[in-house]
């Protein structure tokens, strides 16, 4: 292993892989990515992988818009095709959700995003299996969809080797070393790497790593799960369906399969990040099924195929922490993916790489600076607290 680098990125999920990719692509020199398990082993590899622009603040909308652009052109922008399936993202809203929905539509249109406003009558032919009885209004993003999170992460890492990125899987970072207050090295399982720049993209373990240099991030961790159901209908025309009323989302997982998960607001399920059940237990499965049976009644006639559980790392305002720590030259955070950062990973990595290399970013991400919490500059959402930002 190299014992010096121009930058060390800690964490091989989508946030670390993206930042490392774009640092290398922008010519920052020798970049080392450390992943204590395997690439995309934790949240990223278990993501439902929605790529949508349905957000209610300008920074996130711009990042999500850039994500759609990047995934649409994976070979050029992300180092390879990421199996982006633009099946459309459809939000079903009842009377109470119309106002927030219109806010989102207006913001999207201000940014030039293609979006359609629909009535239940517009949907009944396309989606005869969906119960639209309580739905008053629907929003469709035709260009949104989902991609393959493991493939995306590998593409980003492997394609950047030609520009100087070296990834070490199975090698953990133990601590960051400061000399005279600035980053000077990373202590790893295989010994130290001298470096002037470190990016903390350690996901759920980002707090633990921050503590090694006196940073105390306020995070919570929640167990999140998805299930795959065999269903008695063809999913060819089924979009990504989000349902803020019942707090359930679903999308095709195969020709006659749906991936189904729960949205917020709901109870956070705290977990021990080093020791939690990664399978879907019966109680979790029933919680998901109870909701999807209401929205898509014929799923009752289907069967459970498989499922998995992983985690959200949640910040105090449900938005990621991305940027420098002004008191610690050479240190950058790219943390707290909440429920958004599979899609936001590539544009955030690109923007953070611009900040680190001193280039002008396409998108101004200073709003995501980690210091916003002590400054009281929190993000809010048209939907209230939760991952529906
Ligand atoms: C069930 C579920 C569904 C989701 N659905 C969506 C969705 O539809 N759309 C969306 O955009 N987002 C979704 N998300 C959220 C998204 O997956 C996360 O926001 C994103 O993956 C976070 O990426 P990350 O790189 O921060 O974390 P991770 O993927 O967890 O990566 C962090 C990595 O750092 C490594 N690491 C930790 N400590 C160290 C260390 N000391 N040294 C070396 N390596 C270390 C870990 O092993 C891990 O691989 C979902 C998440 C879950 C769990």
**Structure tokens belonging to residue 48:** 């439902």
pLDDT of residue 386: 65
Position 165 pLDDT exceeds 70: yes
Asked whether 123 lines ligand 1 (CB < 6 A), one says no
| Complete domains list, the chain, with CATH | 7-47+150-218+317-372 (3.50.50.60), 87-143+220-314 (3.30.9.10)
Instruction: Give every CB contact of residue 219 below 8 A, 6+ residues apart in sequence.
Output: 204, 206, 207, 313, 314, 315, 335, 336
Position 388 pLDDT exceeds 70: no
**How close is the Cα of 130 to the center of ligand 1, in Å?**
31
**How close is the Cα of 335 to the center of ligand 1, in Å?**
9
Asked whether 243 lines ligand 1 (CB < 6 A), one says no
Q: Measured from the CA of 34, which atom of ligand 1 is nearest?
A: 43
> What are the tens digits of pLDDT across the range 179-224?
999 999 999 999 999 999 999 999 999 999 999 999 999 999 999 9
**How close is the Cα of 167 to the center of ligand 1, in Å?**
17
Asked whether 46 lines ligand 1 (CB < 6 A), one says yes
**How close is the Cα of 183 to the center of ligand 1, in Å?**
24
> What are the tens digits of pLDDT across the range 337-365?
999 999 999 999 999 999 999 999 999 99
**How close is the Cα of 338 to the center of ligand 1, in Å?**
9
Confidence of residue 389 (pLDDT cuts 50, 70, 90): low
Q: How large is the angle between the packed helices 58-72 and 98-110, nearest 10 degrees? A: 60
Q: Which residue has the higher pLDDT, 147 or 2?
A: 147
Asked whether 205 lines ligand 1 (CB < 6 A), one says yes
Instruction: Give every CB contact of residue 380 below 8 A, 6+ residues apart in sequence.
Output: 57, 317
Position 237 pLDDT exceeds 70: yes
d(CA 307, CA 230): 12
> What are the tens digits of pLDDT across the range 53-71?
999 899 999 999 999 999 9
Over residues 106-111, the mean pLDDT reads 96
Asked whether 93 lines ligand 1 (CB < 6 A), one says no
d(CA 26, CA 70): 16
In the predicted model, what is the mean pLDDT of the chain?
96
Residue with CA closest to ligand 1 atom 51: 47
Q: From the DSSP assignment, how many helices (H) and strands (E) are in the chain? A: 9, 19
Confidence of residue 384 (pLDDT cuts 50, 70, 90): low
Omega prior to 265 cis, within 30 of 0: yes
Position 140 pLDDT exceeds 90: yes
Asked whether 312 lines ligand 1 (CB < 6 A), one says yes
21, 43, 64: residue to mutate for ligand 1 pocket, most atoms within 8 A of CB: 43
Number of other residues whose CB lies within 10 A of the CB of residue 2: 12
> What are the tens digits of pLDDT across the range 272-302?
999 999 999 999 999 999 999 999 999 999 9
């Amino acid at each position: 292993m190299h014992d010096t680098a121009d930058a060390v990125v800690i964490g091989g999920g989508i946030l670390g892989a993206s930042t490392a990719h774009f640092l290398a692509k922008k010519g920052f020199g020798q970049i080392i990515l450390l992943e204590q398990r395997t690439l995309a082993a934790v949240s990223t590899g278990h993501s439902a992988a929605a790529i949508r622009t349905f957000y209610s603040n300008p920074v996130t909308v711009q990042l999500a818009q850039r994500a759609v652009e990047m995934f649409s052109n994976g070979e050029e922008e992300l180092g390879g095709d990421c199996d982006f399936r633009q099946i459309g993202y459809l939000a079903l809203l009842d009377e109470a959700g119309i106002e927030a929905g219109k806010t989102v539509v207006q913001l999207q249109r201000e940014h030039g995003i293609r979006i359609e406003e629909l009535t239940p009558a517009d949907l009944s032919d396309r989606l005869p299996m969906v119960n639209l009885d309580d739905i008053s209004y629907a929003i469709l993003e035709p260009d949104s969809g989902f991609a393959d999170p493991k493939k995306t992460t590998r593409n980003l890492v492997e394609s950047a080797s030609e520009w100087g990125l070296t990834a070490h899987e199975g090698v953990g970072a133990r601590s960051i070393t400061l000399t005279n207050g600035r980053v000077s090295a990373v202590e790893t399982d295989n010994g130290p790497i001298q470096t002037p720049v470190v990016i903390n993209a350690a996901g759920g373990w980002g707090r633990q790593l921050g503590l090694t240099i006196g940073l105390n991030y306020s995070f919570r961790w929640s167990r999140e799960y998805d299930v795959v159901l065999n269903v008695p209908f063809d999913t060819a025309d089924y979009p990504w369906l989000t349902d803020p009323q019942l707090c359930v989302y679903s999308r095709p997982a195969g020709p006659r399969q749906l991936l189904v998960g729960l949205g917020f607001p709901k109870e956070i399920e705290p977990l021990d990040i080093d020791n939690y059940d990664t399978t879907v237990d019966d109680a979790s499965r029933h919680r998901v099924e109870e909701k999807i049976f209401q929205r898509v009644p014929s799923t009752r006639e289907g069967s459970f195929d498989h499922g998995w559980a992983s985690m959200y790392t949640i910040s105090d305002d449900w938005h990621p922490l991305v940027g420098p720590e002004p008191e610690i030259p050479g240190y950058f955070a790219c943390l707290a993916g909440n429920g958004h950062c599979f899609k936001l990973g590539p544009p955030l990595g690109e923007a953070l790489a611009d900040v680190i290399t001193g280039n002008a970013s396409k998108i101004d991400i200073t709003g995501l600076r980690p210091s916003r919490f002590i400054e009281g500059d929190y993000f809010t959402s048209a939907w209230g607290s939760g991952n529906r930002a």
